[in-house]
Each structure stands twice: as structure tokens, then as C-alpha cells.
Amino acid sequence: MTFPLERPARLAVFASGRGSNLRALAAAFPPGDPFASVVLVLGNRRDAGALSLAEAYGVPARAVPFGGDRDRFEREADALLRTFGVDLVCLAGFMRVLSPAFTARYAGRILNIHPSLLPLFPGLHAQRQALSAGVRESGCTVHFVDAGVDTGEAVVQRRVPVLPGDTEEGLAERILQEEHRAYPEAVRRVLMGQVHSGVGAHA
């Protein structure tokens, strides 16, 4: 598949938690939008706020528990992505690591958002890592997903100052405001064919 498409793009959002990035994406790409729409939300926890938020936006939501069985999760997720004809997958607060086989299958068609200026501070507690490192600015990155953890090519980064006396919660909240701008911008750039991931991206 090559972007841009000659029809509205179909997006899926994978989320594990409250879903504020899902809200930003669903607002930017609503049902019936001529450019792109979120057509599926997949939560790996039944209590993910993202699932009820999806319903509020009129977007089909499915709970697919991850449990200890990643293979089963990925088989079910793959089947749903095919059923809903999804073009681009957006991980938004999805706190599980997908297999190399899955990320290879969706290479160039799967994005993640992370609350740091990657390659700095990958993995968990990125804001805490930034404060511990004493950096004067941090931010967020939307990147293509590859087989590593937070290692794929960056599509959009937005910067946020780290203020004297910042707490982890305060910094996280300030970064989150930028995440809500960065994710729709990154999706637009990918769908318009302005950025591609590396080898195999559009096989």
C-alpha cells in the first residue's frame, strides 16, 4: 500500500488507558471525513477509558485482552484490522510491545506516540527519566513502529520546556497538550505521503 490513497483513509487506534490521544485523533478524523476517519478502536483492557470514549464518538470499539498471550492478541487484532479495512494503525497509550512479525506486517502503516524527544528516554516513565536526567527541554515524538521499543523513524516531534521545580505530573500534562497536536499532524503527513518509513515500508 502506498500513501496517499485515492479515497478517505481508515484509521484504527490501539489504546490501553484513558484515551486522550484517541480523543484528539477522533476529533481530527471523524466519521465521514473526506480525508480520513477513525473506524476502529481496539483496547487491550476491558476497563480502558478509550473504549467508552470511542462509543461516545460513534466509533466501533473492541476489547481484545492481551493477557499473557501475545500471539492470540495479534491474531485477533489482525483479523479486526482486515475486517474493518484499516489502512493505518495508531498506537495511543498502548502499553504493550508488539511482535517483530506483527510490526513487519504493518511496516510503514503503524505509528506510536511517546512522551519524550526520542531517541532520548524510551520505554516506561519517560517524563520521570527526563526529570532525573536534568534536561531543560523534553516533548513528544510520533514515530513509525519497528521491531524495537520506541526505535522507529520519527514523523513529528514537539518540544516542551522543563521548568524549575517541575513534577512528573506537571511535565506529563504539558507534554500531553503537545501530543494532542502532534498526533493528528503526523497522521496527516503520513497519509499525504510526505514521510515514509525505511525498507519494506510500502511492500
Residue positions forming the annotated binding site: 19-21, 70, 112
Q: How far is CA 17 from CA 3, 120, 147, 150, 152, in A?
A: 29, 23, 23, 18, 22
Length of the chain: 203
- When binding is defined by CB under 6 A, the residue of 18, 96, 159, 202 that contacts ligand GAR is 18
Residue 129 found at the interface with ligand GAR (CB under 6 A): no
Is residue 143 part of the contact set for ligand GAR (CB under 6 A)? no
- Pick one of 11, 12, 14, 19: the residue that binds ligand GAR (CB under 6 A): 19
105 vs 174 by CB, closer to ligand GAR = 174
114 catalytic? Reply is yes
CA distance linking residue 127 with residue 175, whole number of Å: 9
- Residue 197 CA to residue 192 CA, distance in Å, equals 13
Kindly indicate which of the ranges 66-74, 102-110, 113-121, 187-195 contains the residues binding ligand GAR, using the contact rule CB under 6 A: 113-121
The grid coordinates of residue 195 equal 514521510
Closest CA to 88 of 142, 47, 48, 127: 142
Among residues 36, 37, 41, 93, the one that binds ligand GAR under rule CB under 6 A = 93
Closer Cβ to ligand GAR, 3 or 13, answer by number: 13
- Supply the minimum distance, in Å, between the C-beta of residue 123 and ligand GAR: 7
Of residues 117, 98, 119, 123, the one with CA closest to residue 109: 98
Q: Any idea which residues carry the catalytic annotation?
A: 114
